[in-house]
Amino acid sequence: MSARASVVAAVQLNSSEDVAGNLAAVQRMVTHAAAAGARLVVLPENFAFFGAATERARLAERAREKGATVLATIAALARRCGVAIVAGGHPEVAADPGRPYNSALAFAADGELVGCYRKRHLFDVELPDGARYEESRGTTPGDELVVVELAGLRCGLSICYDLRFPEHYRALVAAGAELLLVPAAFTRTTGTDHFLVLLRARAIENQCWVVAANQWGSHPGGRETFGHSCVIDPWGRVVVDAGDGVGVVSASVDLDQLQEVRQCLPALAHRRDQVRG
């Protein structure tokens, strides 16, 4: 491993409405990843609670509030294990109490909260299998991009449905991101055909490392998620894929490899952003 590399892990969970049980699973997985050498661990969307929007709203916390039970647990876990953790998404208090933000929170290895990204694109769709999702009914969208340094890596934050909007990731790269993080609860229906394709596309077009931590299996309300948490290199190769089931995958994210890809195929430098109408 080069001097400019860090081991990054993605946790794949089967979260439910049981907050205590979910957090116990998170603690086991992060402890395992840290023992295996990870310096940064990414948790999936809905890591602490996967259930009804009304109950989710009641669990909303203020990101920097000392009484935030779930976030205090994650901060303490980061300190104990000595790893940075991106916990996303989790309900964060918004102006409308019934529509909290869906936030990815970045904790440094000392447990300090160093970044908070609020999901910008909300999942309002009706899928071919008849499933209907209206995330905007229970969630307030964010409006800011977030790039934060964790474990020596410049990390661009996103959550799940953001993956379908390439301009989000191009803006993160323009802001200096070297690693694109995607906590997710991608459905089985959409994930089967789109999840890995979109992740590889974001890696290829931005010549960036991508780490995705997804939910897997059956959840309350009949929702099914796809799994396949993974790490993808700047050439678009899937380095590791969790497949089905609960677990942790990790890989060495090497910034020298990123620079080699950008030098041999300088597509980012060839951009022509100005066009004539």
- Tell me the catalytic residues: 45, 119, 160
Task: Give the other-Cβ count within 10 Å of 194's Cβ.
Answer: 16
The helix or strand, by DSSP H or E, that contains position 103, with its residue range, turns out to be: strand 101-107
Residue whose entry in the numeric block shows the structure tokens 């890989």: 251
| Residue 121 DSSP class | S
Give the Cα separation of 72 and 93 in Å (integer).
15
Are the C-beta atoms of 268 and 173 separated by less than 8 Å? yes
For the record, the structure tokens of 214 come out as 């997804």
The type of residue at 68 is A
Q: What crossing angle do the helices spanning 188-206 and 166-174 adopt, rounded to 10°?
A: 30
* Span between the terminal Cα atoms of the chain, in Å: 48
